[in-house]
Structure 1
Amino acid sequence: MASNSLFDNTETAFQLKSDSELERAYFLFKMISMEPLVRIGSAVTKFALNVNLPVEGLIRSTVFDHFCGGVNERDCMGTVDKLYDVGVSSVLDFSVEGKEEDLQFDATAQKVIELTEFAENKEAMPFSVFKPTGLGRFKIWQKITEKKPLTESEQVYWENLQARYDTVSKAAHDCGIRLLIDAEESWMQDAADDLCEKMMEKYNIDRPIVFNTLQCYRWDRLDYLKKLHQRARTKGYKLGFKIVRGAYLEKENERAIENGYKSPICESKKATDDNFNEIMKYILDNIEDIEIFVGTHNETSTYLCMDVMKEKGIAKSDDRVWFGQLYGMSDHITFNLGAEGYNVAKYIPFGPVKDVMPYLIRRAEENTSVAGQTSRELTLLKKEKARRKL
């Protein structure tokens, strides 16, 4: 059994934070713990940015600097190097969302390729990452998932989108850098899954390069994984998966009620946790065929993964198993795993302040809605402040 007190070590957890950064983190999580404040703050921030009020400096020095690496990749390098010095790798995530134009999608694809090529010579960056809607319009993904016919111009968009996927996947394959593809809303995800499967079939012959994401709050994901595993074995390619609980809970349930279909989301938090753990165990049971990136802020699942690895004789440093947490959150998990010799990475979002705001607002809302997440952060920060005073 993994020692269940490993994540209580705040000295290791906050070793990179100065006293003032510790105070800022405490202040931010205190704010995030108040749901009405998050709602009002989100609305006011969106409005202020839309009408160009001079709030970027304030956002930058508070929430942005806590949860993001910088406005561009150069900005992030100091953080990447500092993390790597204490055994933590980085996944740089160009977190620009909600674009609609082909030129913007081309620019994002180009950015992912540049980061992938850069990562080839940077040991601290073993992965590259993108979101499906970073490379193509949500509406196109949705139409294909719903099996609706495309117009002529939409068909051209779809072909361009597929070409971007292929170019980015090929760059990852050529550089030997693994590519994590995020998952999004269920009503566009089938199309993203199918395209990702095509890329896996093409580029995961010798080893997993293209990784899809399984959102374990969806009750159908274990079944999907098992079927895909069978197809991959038959056709002779490897699989890679990042597993997460999921970030669109309220949106998913609301849409299911509105449109009168069964919610794709597990009926309870416990059912989601069980599903996550089952999927994780299935992959670890099949580690010869499937590599895993365990994206979680949940201590219990992390301890469980460590236990299963030990049981199966999978070394802590086995490159087929990675853990990951978001930058600015769950440092007690990340840094203590790194100190123990596990493969662990921080997901570091970056991009222009205005473009990254949808991501930051989602993070704040998610922290507010996940019971216990924010209070755990506050308890640990308080404990470390007291330790330093002594």
Structure 2
Amino acid sequence: MIANSLFDNTETAFRLKSDSELERAYFLFKMISKEPLVKIGTAVTKFALNVNLPVEGLIRSTVFDHFCGGVSETDCMSTVDKLSDVGVCSVLDYSVEGKEEDAQFDATANKVIELTQFAKNKKAMPFSVFKPTGFGRFKILQKVTEKQPLTEEEKLEWEKLEARYDRVAKVAHDCNISLLIDGEESWMQDAADDLCERMMEKYNKERPIVFNTLQCYRWDRLDYLKKLHGRAKNKGYKLGFKIVRGAYMEKENERAAEKGYKSPICESKMATDANFNEILKYILDNLNDIELFVGTHNELSTYLAMDLMEAKNISKSDNRIWFGQLFGMSDHITFNLGAEGYNVTKYIPFGPVKDVMPYLIRRAEENTSVAGQTSRELTLLKKEKIRRKL
């Protein structure tokens, strides 16, 4: 049994933060802990950016620099190197959201290809990543999920979306870099899952290259995983999954209530935790067929994964199991795991300030809704400030 005090070590957790960065982190989490402030702040920020007020400098020096690696991949490299020095790998995430044009989707796919080829020779960057809506319109994914007939123009659009998936997956396969595909809203996810499954069948013959995401706040995901596992065994390919709790809960519940269908979200936080842990156990029981990326900020689930690995005699550095947290959050988990010799990464979002703001706003809103996590961050930051003073 792993001692449940590993993540209290703040000296290791904040070893890369200067005193001023520690103060900034404390200030930001203090702000995020106040829901009215988040609502006002996000509304003001959206307005200021939309009317081109000169606020980018302010955003960069506060929230952007805390949660993002920079405006370009070159910008991120000093962070990647610093993390690598303390045993933490990086996943560079080009976090541009909400685009609608073909040219923008092509540009995003090209950027992911560029990053994947760049990562090929960089041991500290074992993964590449993209969001389905980075490669095609939300509405087209929704239409395919809902099995609505497509117009000729939409069929062409869908073919282009599929071609982007294939192009990126092929490059990842050729570079031997694992490709994480993020999960999004349930009403477009079936189309994204089917596309991902096709890529897995094509490129995961020897080992998992393409990883899908299971959002474990959805009560149907364990069943989906078991069925896909059966299909993959029959067809002779491997699976890779990133497991997360999920990021669209309020939106999911609101839409289900408004449209009168059963919410896809587990009925309680406790049910979500149980579902996450069951999915975690299932994958660890089938590690010869399924590789695992544990994307969590939850300490108990992380301790559970560590305990299960120990019970099954799985080495800490077994390349089939990775842990990951977002840049700027849960350093107490990331850096303590790294110091213990586990495979761990930081997801590092980057991109032009204006384009990355939808991502940052979602992060702030998400943190507000997970109050326990924000107060845990504050407690640890305060503890480290006191430790340094002493």
TM-score, with structure 2 as normaliser: 1.00
Counterpart residue type for residue 287 of structure 1: L
C-alpha displacement of 1:3 = 1.0
Distance 1:190 1:162 in 2: 14
Distance 1:301 1:183 in 2: 20
Distance 1:41 1:348 in 2: 23
Query: Do structure 1's residue 61 and structure 2's residue 57 form an aligned pair?
Result: no
- Secondary structure at 1:314's aligned position in 2? coil
Q: How does 1:102-181 map to 2 (within 5 A)?
A: 102-181=102-181
- Secondary structure at 2:371's aligned position in 1? coil
Counterpart residue type for residue 258 of structure 1: E
Distance 1:340 1:258 in 2: 47
Counterpart residue type for residue 11 of structure 2: E
Distance 2:72 2:204 in 1: 30
Residue equivalent to 1:31: 31
- Secondary structure at 1:53's aligned position in 2? coil
- Secondary structure at 2:342's aligned position in 1? coil
Residue equivalent to 2:186: 186
C-alpha displacement of 1:13 = 0.1
Cα deviation 1:32-70 (Å, max 9, x = unaligned):
000000000000000000000000000000000000000
Counterpart residue type for residue 167 of structure 1: R
Residue equivalent to 1:326: 326
- Secondary structure at 2:349's aligned position in 1? strand
Cα deviation 1:172-226 (Å, max 9, x = unaligned):
0000000000000000000000000000000000000000000000000000000
- Secondary structure at 1:54's aligned position in 2? coil
Distance 2:198 2:145 in 1: 15
Distance 1:365 1:158 in 2: 32
Residue equivalent to 2:70: 70
Runs of 4+ in 1 over 6 A off after TM superposition: none
Distance 2:93 2:321 in 1: 20
Counterpart residue type for residue 331 of structure 1: D
Distance 1:261 1:158 in 2: 27
Counterpart residue type for residue 275 of structure 2: N
Residue equivalent to 1:271: 271
Distance 2:189 2:370 in 1: 23
Counterpart residue type for residue 29 of structure 2: F
Residue equivalent to 2:210: 210
Query: Do structure 1's residue 230 and structure 2's residue 230 form an aligned pair?
Result: yes
- Secondary structure at 1:149's aligned position in 2? coil
Distance 2:129 2:13 in 1: 25
Distance 1:12 1:377 in 2: 14
Structure 1 unaligned blocks of 5 or more: none
Distance 1:284 1:92 in 2: 26
Counterpart residue type for residue 102 of structure 2: D
Cα deviation 1:71-113 (Å, max 9, x = unaligned):
0000000000000000000000000000000000000000000
Residue equivalent to 2:243: 243
Contact kept in structure 1, 2:33 and 2:371, CA below 8 Å: no
- Secondary structure at 1:93's aligned position in 2? strand
- Secondary structure at 1:148's aligned position in 2? coil
Distance 2:2 2:250 in 1: 33
Counterpart residue type for residue 264 of structure 1: P
Residue equivalent to 1:356: 356
Distance 2:4 2:312 in 1: 19
Contact kept in structure 1, 2:297 and 2:330, CA below 8 Å: yes
Distance 2:17 2:200 in 1: 39
Counterpart residue type for residue 385 of structure 2: K
Contact kept in structure 1, 2:182 and 2:213, CA below 8 Å: yes
Distance 2:379 2:351 in 1: 30
Q: How does 1:250-269 map to 2 (within 5 A)?
A: 250-269=250-269
Cα deviation 1:127-178 (Å, max 9, x = unaligned):
0000000000000000000000001111100000000000000000000000
- Secondary structure at 1:372's aligned position in 2? helix
C-alpha displacement of 1:371 = 2.8
Residue equivalent to 1:46: 46
Distance 2:90 2:2 in 1: 25
Distance 1:165 1:366 in 2: 28
C-alpha displacement of 1:265 = 0.0
Contact kept in structure 1, 2:232 and 2:238, CA below 8 Å: yes
Query: Do structure 1's residue 317 and structure 2's residue 288 form an aligned pair?
Result: no
Distance 2:355 2:248 in 1: 19
Residue equivalent to 2:292: 292
Residue equivalent to 2:15: 15
- Secondary structure at 1:96's aligned position in 2? coil
Distance 2:315 2:151 in 1: 52
Q: How does 1:378-389 map to 2 (within 5 A)?
A: 378-389=378-389
Distance 1:313 1:190 in 2: 36
Residue equivalent to 2:85: 85
